[in-house]
Amino acid sequence: MGRRLGVLVAVGVLVLGAVGAGPAQAAPETRDCPAGELFATNNTAVITDPDDPRLEDRLHRFDREVRAVIRAHGARPAGSTLLDGVFWSVDLKRATYERSRKFDVDRVGAAGLRHLADTVRKEYAQEAVLTFRCLPRTSPRTDAAEIEAPGVSATALREALLADPEARDRLGGGSVALDGRLLLVTPLADLPLARRFADRLGVDWTTAKIRYGDSEFVS
């Protein structure tokens, strides 16, 4: 059975055209963003053991396959990042774990990014795939913020999530790249809560990078 991808991570968009459209002039706030990002996994199991060997999979084949899907739809893959996710299951009342990848996509617009996410969702039997488009903070379409901060481990993320009922209920969880970067996307209204949660993780807020944009679980 497919299930909803728990990844709460993202960075996003410079272009608002269709797949294959050329790049537009970026605003300063979005200049370091790729054209779009999507976050996906091929996992359909619910993993509750942090030592499960499936969490060692580096998803190399999945990486190649999704890159091929991106190219086949006229966009350009621009790299991917392996992620360790820790999420709170409301049904199980416990933490769950997941390996996933964040895919940078160039030469793609809003409609094209959504189409790519839907294609990957169907191909890998997922309930949803997360996308994020990086936009100016003042854009009427901006509804979320992404926090990226160094110095966080998956173990620390798990412990903080278990110790903070409000964060696990409202934020759901987060992901950590293998180099120790926390990646967390939150609705703008929950940004103060996300900052408090990051403080619990020992994050120095002055080192955190915050991007604003439009996020969507494509289902």
Per-residue pLDDT of the chain (219 residues; tens, 9 = 90+): 444 444 444 332 222 223 333 333 334 466 678 888 899 999 999 999 999 999 999 999 999 999 999 999 999 999 999 999 999 998 999 999 999 999 999 999 999 999 999 999 999 999 999 998 888 999 999 998 889 999 999 999 999 999 999 999 999 999 999 999 999 888 899 999 999 999 999 999 899 999 999 999 999
**Residue 19: its pLDDT value, please?**
35
Helix boundaries (H) for 37-164: 60-72, 110-123, 154-163
**Residue 29: its pLDDT value, please?**
60
Q: What is the dihedral of CA 161, 166, 168, 171, to 10 degrees?
A: -120
Strand partners, 157: none
Strand partners, 94: 89
**Residue 146: its pLDDT value, please?**
83
**Residue 15: its pLDDT value, please?**
27
Residue 78 backbone phi and psi in degrees, to 5: -125, 25
- Which token pair is 207? 């080192």
**Residue 31: its pLDDT value, please?**
67
* Burial classification of residue 92, based on how many CB atoms lie within 10 Å of its CB (0-12 exposed, 13-18 middle, 19 or more buried): exposed
Residue 108 backbone phi and psi in degrees, to 5: -140, 145
Strands (E), the chain: 36-40, 76-89, 94-106, 129-134, 144-149, 173-177, 182-187, 209-218
